[in-house]
Structure 1
Amino acid sequence: MDIRRLKPSDAVEYREMRLIALKSHPEAFASSFEEEKENPADIYAKRFASDESYTFGAFEKEKLIGSVTLLKETKLKLKHRALIVAMYVSDDSRRKGVGKALIAAALDHAKSQAGIEQIYLAVESTNEPAKKLYSSFGFEVFGKDKCALKIGDNYFDEEHMVLVL
């Protein structure tokens, strides 16, 4: 398995994986398949070229099997913080250390950035494997957002976690 920062040239493959993630696990993301299905790959290519957004991909035999994004806060009073968002590992690649490698890459990059002191993320409350993964890196729950997401008539709670570097 190879972990690297995604480049604009990875945008088409990322978009395909992202749409699968949104469709198959809608409760895991604030964004929806319906909202993103019309997005051209260029939107992701621009993000991958940004200095405030770092998306890391996991590749197995040149195929993208997972990704995670680290977003640096840009407001003056929040520049000591970053967010982990859009974490996903394909169903076939789970329980093989892919998620661990992706989080490690994001955290290593965060630690290399001057001024980042805290990393935040949100995780759907019943997603025990993800919560266990984040806890293994030292993330701690600091709050719960009841009914954070609504899909049809169903509500999903989110737990907010923080890691102080």
Structure 2
Amino acid sequence: MTSGAHYAEFLITDQPYIGIVRPMPGLDADAYHEGEFCFIGMPRLQPDFLVQRSDNWGGSNVHACDFSCDDGETNWTEWNGYEDENNIEWEGRETCQSGDTVGMLLNLDKGTLTVYKNNRRLGVLKDGLSGPYCWYVCLGKHPTVADAVSIKRGTLPNSDGATAT
């Protein structure tokens, strides 16, 4: 997604992390099959991610951002070799339960990522976004939980002119 507004819905089971990340078509996904993998909270992998940088990433330093279904917090990273921005409070923060639908509106015209829960707007999770992003889900940060997510096309509640992606 490079411009405009995009909306996706995620039907969750247990406690996944749902968000956006920079597209990295040259990243060797097969190299990360063993163990836990997420784009946030993995400082040893940050150099692998940054080498994928391209000019079209734009000026935003937010390279990955996610919503924790477990506690409703947001996490984001600029992959700068330092600590990621974790457990950030935001207006509208709520937890989710298995069976909830989490909607996300990425509006690149406004530079915002807005979260919905069961068709109700919670709030803006992150602003200051520019450049291309794609959706991502991180499963398995909690070793005793069987996280799962299904993605479905939906219509943005109270339509803001977004297209389902």
TM-score higher than 0.5: no
Select the structure with the greater relative contact order (CA < 8 A; seq sep ≥ 6).
2
Question: What is the TM-score normalised by the length of structure 1?
Answer: 0.30
Structure richer in helix, relative to its length: 1
